[in-house]
C-alpha cells in the first residue's frame, strides 16, 4: 500500500551522510561530536537553465542531474521544448522550481522588508498549481520571461510570450463569462503587471497601464474581499499604488479616491495603519489636488473675489497636506529609521557608481531597509508633485513679495477659511526649488536601490519616483540633472 514518502528534517550534512540527525539548532550535536561541519537546515533551490538555442525539436522531458553533482535536494532541468504550443507548464515540479527561481532573483532577503507583514505580495500568492489554471499559466509566463531575460534566451522568451497570450485569452474568457470572479483573477492581473515591467510590450507601458486599469475595473466583481489578513492588505496596497501611478500620469484623482471602499476597508481593523499605507493615501491626495488646481487654473475669467476665495482654499489645502505628510514622515522615521550618507564601499551593479557620478547631487543615501527607502521615496514624490502647485497658486493670487513659506501663511489650527494670505518677509521659500531638492533626494537613492542584494524589487520600487523626478527636471529645464 502506497504512503507519503518520508522527507528528512535533519541537517544537510546528516542527510548527505545518510545518518540520523538529532536536529539541534543552530548546529546538530551529532556533527559537532564527530567533527563534521554542520551545514544547517536550509534547503536551497537552484533552477538549471539550458538555453533553448541548443534544444532540438521534440517533446519536453525532465532528467535528474547526475548524482555526483547533488549536494542538496533533487534539481531538474528542461531538456527539450517543442516548437509548437509551449510545454513548459506541463510538470508541477518544474513549474514550482521555475517560480522559486524567479522569487530568488526578484525578491531580496527578508531583513530588507521591514513592514509589519514582513512579506512581499508575491510571497502571499496561493499555490498556482493547486488554486487556478489561469494563475498557473500567468506564473509560468512570468517566471520563464524572467529566466529568458537573465540568460538572453530569445527562444525561451518567445515561448513565454505564447504562454502569456494564452493566459490573457483565458482571463478574457473568465471576465466575459458573467460569473463571479475569484482572487485568482486579481492575483493574475498583478502577475501581468510585473510581467510587463520585466518584458515590456511595445510601444511602452501601455499594456502595464491596461492591466492596472483592469485590476481597478474588476475589483468589485471579485468575491471574498472582506478578509483582513496580511495577504489581503498587501494585495490592496499593490493595486492601490499602481492605480495611483496611472492617475498621477493623467493628473487626475485616482479611482479609489473618496468614493471607493478601498480607503475605508483596507485597514479598518488595525489600530495604527502602516506608514507606507498612510503615505500612499497622502500621495493620492496630491494627485487629487493636481486635478483641482488644474481645473482652477483653466477656468479663466471669473469673478475676482471668487477666484481669490477658491485659490486660497486650494492653497491652504496644499499647506494642510504638506503638514500631514511631514507628520507621517516623522512617524515613519521613528518606526523604520532615517536615510544616512552612503559609505564609499557600497557594492553597485556594473560600476553604476562611476557611471552615475555627478557633482550636481550630494552623496548618495543609505537606508536601514528597503521598506524605509520605499517610504521615503513615496514621501519625496508627493512633495515633488505638491510644491509646484503651491507656486502656481501663489502666482495666480499675486502674492509676489517673495514666495511665502509654510510658516508665513499656514494656520496649524486649521481655521483658515476666512484668513488672508499674509506674506512673511522674514521667511521666504521658493516651493519649486524645494521640489527640486526632493527630486534630488530621489536621485540620491538610486545607488541604494540598485545594489545587488536588493535584487529586482529594489529597482522596481525606484521606477515611479525616479520617473517623477526626471519629469520635474524636464519640465523645469534642468538639463544637466535630467541628462
**Does residue 215 lie within any of the structural domains?**
yes
Residue 132 and residue 34 in one domain: no
Residue 207 and residue 293 in one domain: no
Q: Which domain holds residue 395?
A: 272-406+428-482
**Does residue 283 lie within any of the structural domains?**
yes
Residue 399 and residue 346 in one domain: yes
pLDDT bracket for residue 90 (50, 70, 90): low
- 211-265 pLDDT, tens digit each: 777 776 666 565 445 555 666 777 778 878 888 888 888 899 887 665 444 344 4
Domain end (from 218, 251, 284): 251
Query: For position 27, which CATH number holds?
Result: 4.10.240
**Does residue 131 lie within any of the structural domains?**
yes
Look at residue 476 in the predicted model and tell me its pLDDT. Answer: 93
The sign of the dihedral angle between the CA atoms of 250, 252, 258, 264 is positive
Give the mean pLDDT of 377-391. Answer: 94
Residue 373 and residue 446 in one domain: yes
Count how many domains the chain has.
3
Q: Using the 8-state DSSP alphabet, how is residue 416 labeled? A: -
Residue 77 pairs in a beta bridge with 48, 63
Q: Using the 8-state DSSP alphabet, how is residue 183 labeled? A: H
Overall pTM > 0.75: no
Burial (CB count within 10 angstroms: exposed 0-12, middle 13-18, buried 19+), residue 435: buried
Residue 305 and residue 449 in one domain: yes
Report cis status (omega within 30 of 0) of the bond before 203: yes
Helices (H), 203-274: 206-218, 230-250, 261-265
Residue 401 and residue 441 in one domain: yes
Look at residue 105 in the predicted model and tell me its pLDDT. Answer: 87
Whole-angstrom CA distances from 54 to 69, 89, 93, 140, 150 are 22, 20, 22, 21, 17
Tell me the backbone φ, ψ of residue 432, rounded to 5 degrees: -65, -35
Give the contacts of 469 (CB within 8 A, at least 6 positions apart). Answer: 381, 384, 439, 440, 442, 443
Residue 216 and residue 347 in one domain: no
- 129-151 pLDDT, tens digit each: 677 888 889 999 999 999 898 88
The pLDDT of residue 76 is above 50: no
Q: Residue holding cell 536550509? A: 42
Residue 335 and residue 235 in one domain: no
pLDDT bracket for residue 99 (50, 70, 90): confident
Look at residue 30 in the predicted model and tell me its pLDDT. Answer: 86
Residue of 452, 453, 471, 475 lying closest to 463 (CA atoms): 471
The pLDDT of residue 438 is above 90: yes
- 284-307 pLDDT, tens digit each: 999 999 999 999 888 765 677 777
> Are 299 and 352 contacting, i.e. CB atoms less than 8 angstroms apart?
no
Q: How many CB atoms are closer than 10 A to CB 96?
A: 18
**Does residue 310 lie within any of the structural domains?**
yes
**Does residue 344 lie within any of the structural domains?**
yes
Coil, helix or strand at residue 198: helix
Residue 348 and residue 467 in one domain: yes
The pLDDT of residue 67 is above 60: no
Mean pLDDT rounded to a whole number for the chain: 75
Whole-angstrom CA distances from 471 to 153, 364, 376 are 33, 20, 19
Residue 338 and residue 376 in one domain: yes
Residue 340 pairs in a beta bridge with 366
pLDDT bracket for residue 172 (50, 70, 90): confident
Residue 191 and residue 315 in one domain: no
**Does residue 82 lie within any of the structural domains?**
no
**Does residue 55 lie within any of the structural domains?**
no
**Does residue 49 lie within any of the structural domains?**
no
Residue 243 and residue 366 in one domain: no
Amino acid at each position: 500500500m502506497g504512503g507519503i514518502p518520508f522527507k528528512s528534517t535533519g541537517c544537510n550534512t546528516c542527510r548527505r551522510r545518510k545518518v540520523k540527525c538529532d536536529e539541534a539548532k543552530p548546529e546538530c550535536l551529532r556533527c559537532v561530536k564527530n567533527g563534521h561541519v554542520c551545514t544547517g537546515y536550509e534547503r536551497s533551490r537552484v533552477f538549471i537553465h539550458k538555453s533553448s538555442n541548443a534544444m532540438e525539436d521534440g517533446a519536453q522531458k525532465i532528467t535528474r542531474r547526475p548524482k555526483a553533482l547533488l549536494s542538496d535536494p533533487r534539481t531538474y532541468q528542461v531538456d527539450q521544448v517543442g516548437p509548437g504550443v509551449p510545454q513548459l507548464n506541463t510538470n508541477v515540479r518544474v513549474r514550482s522550481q521555475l517560480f522559486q527561481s524567479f522569487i530568488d532573483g526578484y525578491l531580496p532577503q527578508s531583513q530588507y522588508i521591514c513592514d509589519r507583514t514582513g512579506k512581499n505580495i508575491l510571497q502571499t500568492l496561493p499555490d498556482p498549481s493547486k488554486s487556478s489554471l489561469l494563475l498557473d499559466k500567468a506564473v509560468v509566463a512570468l517566471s520563464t520571461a524572467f529566466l529568458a531575460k537573465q540568460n538572453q534566451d530569445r527562444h525561451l522568451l518567445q515561448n513565454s510570450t505564447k504562454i502569456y497570450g494564452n493566459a490573457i485569452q483565458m482571463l478574457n474568457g473568465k471576465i466575459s463569462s458573467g460569473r463571479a470572479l475569484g482572487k485568482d483573477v486579481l492575483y493574475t492581473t498583478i502577475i501581468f503587471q510585473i510581467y510587463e515591467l520585466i518584458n515590456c510590450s511595445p510601444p511602452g507601458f501601455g499594456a502595464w497601464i491596461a492591466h492596472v486599469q483592469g485590476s481597478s475595473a474588476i475589483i468589485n466583481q471579485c468575491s471574498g474581499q472582506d478578509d483582513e489578513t496580511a495577504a489581503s492588505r498587501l494585495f490592496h496596497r499593490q493595486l492601490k499604488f499602481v492605480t495611483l501611478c496611472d492617475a498621477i500620469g493623467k493628473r487626475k484623482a485616482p479611482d479609489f479616491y473618496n468614493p471607493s471602499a478601498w480607503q475605508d476597508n483596507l485597514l479598518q481593523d488595525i489600530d495604527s495603519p502602516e506608514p507606507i499605507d498612510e503615505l500612499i493615501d497622502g500621495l493620492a491626495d496630491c494627485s487629487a489636488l493636481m486635478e483641482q488646481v488644474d481645473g482652477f487654473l483653466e477656468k479663466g475669467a471669473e469673478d475676482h473675489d471668487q477666484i481669490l476665495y477658491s485659490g486660497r482654499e486650494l492653497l491652504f489645502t496644499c499647506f494642510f497636506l504638506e503638514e500631514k505628510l511631514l507628520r507621517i514622515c516623522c512617524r515613519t522615521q521613528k518606526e523604520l529609521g532615517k536615510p544616512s550618507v552612503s559609505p564609499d564601499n557600497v557594492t553597485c551593479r556594473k560600476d553604476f557608481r562611476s557611471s552615475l557620478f555627478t557633482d550636481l547631487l550630494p552623496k548618495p543615501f543609505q537606508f536601514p531597509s528597503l521598506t524605509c527607502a520605499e517610504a521615503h521615496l513615496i514621501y519625496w514624490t508627493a512633495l515633488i508633485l505638491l510644491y509646484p502647485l503651491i507656486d502656481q497658486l501663489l502666482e495666480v493670487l499675486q502674492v509676489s513679495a517673495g514666495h511665502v513659506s509654510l510658516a508665513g501663511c499656514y494656520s496649524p489650527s486649521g481655521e483658515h477659511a476666512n484668513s488672508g494670505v499674509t506674506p512673511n518677509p522674514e521667511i521666504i521659500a521658493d516651493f519649486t526649488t524645494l521640489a527640486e531638492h526632493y527630486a534630488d533626494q530621489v536621485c540620491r537613492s538610486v545607488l541604494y536601490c540598485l545594489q545587488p542584494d536588493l535584487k529586482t524589487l529594489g529597482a522596481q520600487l525606484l521606477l515611479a519616483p525616479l520617473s517623477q523626478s526626471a519629469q520635474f527636471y524636464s519640465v523645469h529645464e534642468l538639463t544637466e540633472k535630467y541628462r
